[in-house]
Structure 1
Amino acid sequence: MVLVKKTIAWAGLLTGCLILFSAFAPAYGAEVEATFAGGCFWCMEHPFNELEGVTATTVGYMGGHVEAPSYRQVASGKTGHAEVIQVTYDPEIVSYDRLLEVFWRNVDPVDAEGQFCDRGSQYRTAIFTYDEPQQQLATDSKAEVSDLLSQPIATEIVAASQFFPAEEYHQDYADKNPLLYRYYRFSCGRDRRLREVWGAIE
């Protein structure tokens, strides 16, 4: 009888542990999100899509005061939103630090007036963070970039707000319209300026 009681007790303890683990299991190894503003969102999507561990990217708008804005509204510069790329990733495969590296190397972080040929606050650079660890890592990386470039960094680090996906024709634009995308990227001077900022220290 004592053995039976001990067996039941151990079974109960094990069941409790399994229940507790299952409550936290979704958070472990689950996909998480990161959101970056780097000027034209067409040009920010492709670099992240190439990263192993990134499971999805969605272009859209964040940081403004208008509910569910349209592209035309955001492009006017009157909604307060920035064009952003929302990255869904598996932190077991790719780290947030690595995402930050990709972000920095694809923007001109010293430009406070926009990015490349796109001017205005809707094209500002920003890192939208979802929790304290992301905020700390972003802050540390910004300091490192400032030291590396020996210049003040214009990129904002702010808490993420509601994300509004852009219209469907903006999603995966580079894949859908490769010629137009390459022409836009070249004519906007994006790669030329990126080489000026980062080329000597790649």
Structure 2
Amino acid sequence: MTNQYEKATFAGGCFWCMVKPFDQWDGVHSVISGYTGGHVNHPTYEQVKTGETGHYEAVQITYDPSKISYQTILDLYWPQIDPTDPDGQFHDRGPQYRTAIFYHNEEQKQLATQSKDDLENSRKFSKPIATKILKADTFYPAEDYHQDFYKKNPDYYQEDRAKSGRDDFIEENWN
């Protein structure tokens, strides 16, 4: 019997920090860093980091829905970000670092919208939820040196996370 994998795509600031939270769950087949939502075909990191291509840095998760649900993946996503920041994430500023959930089908759209509404209605944050819910677009994998960055460069990865303010925000607001 062949597994029917599905895809989930999220932007949460620097894609290096968005791989590890999903990568270690049973049912997650792969987490790829890349670019989506822009107007340049096959963009490079150098192009995307200018903020002028319209792309988000994002991760695309391939998962087995019989082992991990899209709802569970959504529940993992929100506590990785500051959902109230419309201009980037932590020390990463610019349109390429905005947050978004890219849905691949109507069920994902409904679940993503409901999860955003639930977060907004929880009043957990005093500012409005800025994370966009967008239809999935072409996803371009990033260059090889960006893939599994936390595994390839663990010291630099930890240093960058700490310096960015992401971990402090997560600790203060989500734990």
- In structure 1, what is the equivalent of residue 32 of structure 2? 58
1:112 and 2:86 correspond:
yes
Cα deviation digits, residues 131-170 of structure 1 (max 9, x gap): 1000000000001111222541100000000000000000
Greater relative CO, 1 or 2 (CA 8 Å, sep 6+): 2
- In the TM superposition, 1:138-177 aligns within 5 A as 138-148=112-122, 149-150=124-125, 151-177=127-153
When structure 1 is superposed on structure 2, of 173-182 and 186-195 the one drifting more is 186-195
The structure 1 segments of at least 4 consecutive aligned residues displaced by more than 2 Å after TM superposition are none
Alpha-carbon distance in 2 for matches of 1:68, 1:127: 21
CA drift at 1:87: 0.1
Aligned to 1:198: 174
1:84 matched to 2:68? The reply is no
Question: Match for residue 12 of structure 1?
Answer: none
Could you tell me which runs of 5 or more consecutive residues in structure 2 were left unpaired when the two chains were aligned: none
| 3-state secondary structure, aligned to 1:157 | strand
**1:62 CA drift (Å):** 0.2
Report the counterpart of residue 189 of structure 1 in structure 2. Answer: 165
Query: How many pairs were matched up?
Result: 173
Matched residues in 1 for 2:131 and 2:46: separation?
24
Residue 159 of structure 2 aligns to which amino acid in structure 1? Y
Identity of aligned residues (%): 50
Gaps of 5+ in 1: 1-24
Residue 196 of structure 1: CA displacement?
2.3
Give the counterpart letter for 2:18 in structure 1: M
Pairing 1:42–2:42 present: no
- Match of 1:179? 155
Distance in 2 between residues matched to 1:152 and 1:111, nearest whole Å: 9
Give the CA RMSD over aligned residues: 1.2
Paired residue type of 2:133: I
Q: Which residue of 1 aligns with 2:49?
A: 75
In terms of fraction of residues, the more helix-rich structure is 1
Aligned pairs for 1:91-106 (under 5 A) are 91-106=65-80
